[in-house]
Structure 1
């Protein structure tokens, strides 16, 4: 009897060097394109992202130097080089780079870029959603919920949601009838008070 289990997701907890390299608009797009579309040449990526082959080649090499992308020798022919993402998921914690101001600035740029991409993504969806079926329009959507919990409980909630998303992704069948690629965003932020973010006092400050 064959083994139908899918291989475990490849995840990377990015280090100080990797985060500095990744904090670049074209590099984040290149890595994302390789994860979504699969292995590709610099030429194909340039066409997909609306840039030139020289730029994509250079930035792919920068990503390769820190192990975020790798060459796929099984696909290359002659001088043609295919690249693929080395991992499926990039992970980090907000406190990972507290001791490195440059890396902290880099991760803050990456997080800001994610927010900008989400806004653009949502706005583009709003303009075309009428073209989708009622079933998909009901399945897509956004929402929020307010709660009052300590940081440890919020961390546990985040871990549980991430495990649920991971399970659904591992069980996904791209060949299933009616399946579409979707992107799920998850965020947990402090409540706004008086239109500004306020930090609660620590135990030492009380």
Structure 2
């Protein structure tokens, strides 16, 4: 097993979300279903229900809603008999919030999705901190959280985010999945204007 970066990894499949996809995705179980299929790969509605602590009927319904807008699809190569397997159609969802300025429902969906991401980020950080001491020193020292206040115009902030995303994607493309100590790591990238009361 080598720690050398992989170079044979396929480029991630990306989608620029439209208003209909945004509205469908703005639901807690649908976001969890899509995220689980992206991280863990294809699964049946029953397996997803077990993993996400819900029922198969709800899981099947919401998978069909995601399929209707092209975010998930059945995987006929894995299905046998009545068993239907589902897969994520894309690895990365992109959108510009201003794409939906003329659609109040899509704007509300974007606000919900962004707020849900912040909530999930905080929950994941809290879960790690609750068990961090059970993990080897190398992992505890490798994990990082920091913040910095910069003074930037919008164009520079966009350039910063774009450059950081390129770094993240380079590490994604060079993932070392066969190293004995490799684990999935969730990386968040967020930058917001400083607001009053934040100090």
Q: Which residue of 2 aligns with 1:158?
A: 161
Q: Any residues of structure 2 matched to 1:28-43 within 5 Å, and which?
A: 28-43=31-46
2:69 aligned with 1:66, yes or no? yes
Q: Which whole-Å deviations, capped at 9, do the CAs of 1:136-175 have from their partners, x for residues lacking one?
A: 1111121011111111011011011111101100110322
SS of the residue corresponding to residue 5 of structure 1 reads coil
User: Which segment drifts farther, 19-28 or 169-178?
Assistant: 169-178
Tell me the CA shift for residue 93 of structure 1: 1.4
2:132 aligned with 1:129, yes or no? yes
**Residues matched between the structures, number:** 193
Rounded to whole Å, the distance in 1 between the matches of 2:90 and 2:104 is 26
2:97 aligned with 1:98, yes or no? no
The equivalent position to 2:81 in structure 1, one of 70, 78, 81, is: 78
SS of the residue corresponding to residue 179 of structure 1 reads coil
Rounded to whole Å, the distance in 1 between the matches of 2:81 and 2:89 is 22
Rounded to whole Å, the distance in 1 between the matches of 2:163 and 2:144 is 21
Tell me the CA shift for residue 6 of structure 1: 2.2
Tell me the CA shift for residue 68 of structure 1: 0.1
Q: Any residues of structure 2 matched to 1:1-206 within 5 Å, and which?
A: 5-193=8-196, 195=197
**TM-score, length-scaled by structure 1:** 0.91
Rounded to whole Å, the distance in 2 between the matches of 1:94 and 1:54 is 32
Q: Which whole-Å deviations, capped at 9, do the CAs of 1:83-107 have from their partners, x for residues lacking one?
A: 0000001111121111111000001
Rounded to whole Å, the distance in 1 between the matches of 2:198 and 2:102 is 27
Gaps of at least 5 residues in structure 1 are: 198-206
Question: What is the CA RMSD across the aligned residues, in angstroms?
Answer: 1.3
Rounded to whole Å, the distance in 2 between the matches of 1:158 and 1:25 is 26
**TM-score, length-scaled by structure 2:** 0.94
Which of structures 1 and 2 has the larger relative contact order (alpha carbons within 8 angstroms, sep 6+)?
Answer: 2
SS of the residue corresponding to residue 185 of structure 1 reads coil
Gaps of at least 5 residues in structure 2 are: 1-6
Higher Cα radius of gyration:
1
